[in-house]
Amino acid sequence: MNWLDEVSWDERGLVPVIAQETGSGDVLMVAWMNREALALTAERGEAVYWSRSRGRLWHKGEESGHVQVVHEIRLDCDQDVVLLKVEQRGHTPGIACHTGRHSCFYSVLKDGRWQAVEPVLKDPERIYK
């Protein structure tokens, strides 16, 4: 059996993917992969996702230069979520979020409101062309 056949793909042929930073353990982002994206990620050693908004494969960092080097690929117990242990490259500290922050999880619920608790490390206008 092909290892890709063991993943429980949803009705669209996708699986959610969590990108976690190897050193800090920070959860950087959640994205989606199809079979081709997961196969390419394993082959290249760099994260390749399926962009639902663009309807195409998306090599993380293709526009921003903020590449995710994959150290390990894990599958959860239900085989329906993939965890990538990554090193975020392209800026120090690493920027994973399109808002120019380290992590996409920069908002915390405080006093009934979402509040940004992580700084913008680089203006997105300067990241994306």
Report all structural domains of the chain as residue ranges with CATH numbers, in order of start.
3-127 (3.10.20.810)
Nearest alpha-carbon partner for 84 in 96, 70, 97: 70
Token representation of residue 37: 């994206």
Report pLDDT digits (tens) over 36-82. 999 999 999 999 999 999 999 999 988 888 899 999 999 999 999 99
What pTM was estimated for this model as a whole?
0.88
Q: What is the pLDDT of residue 93?
A: 74
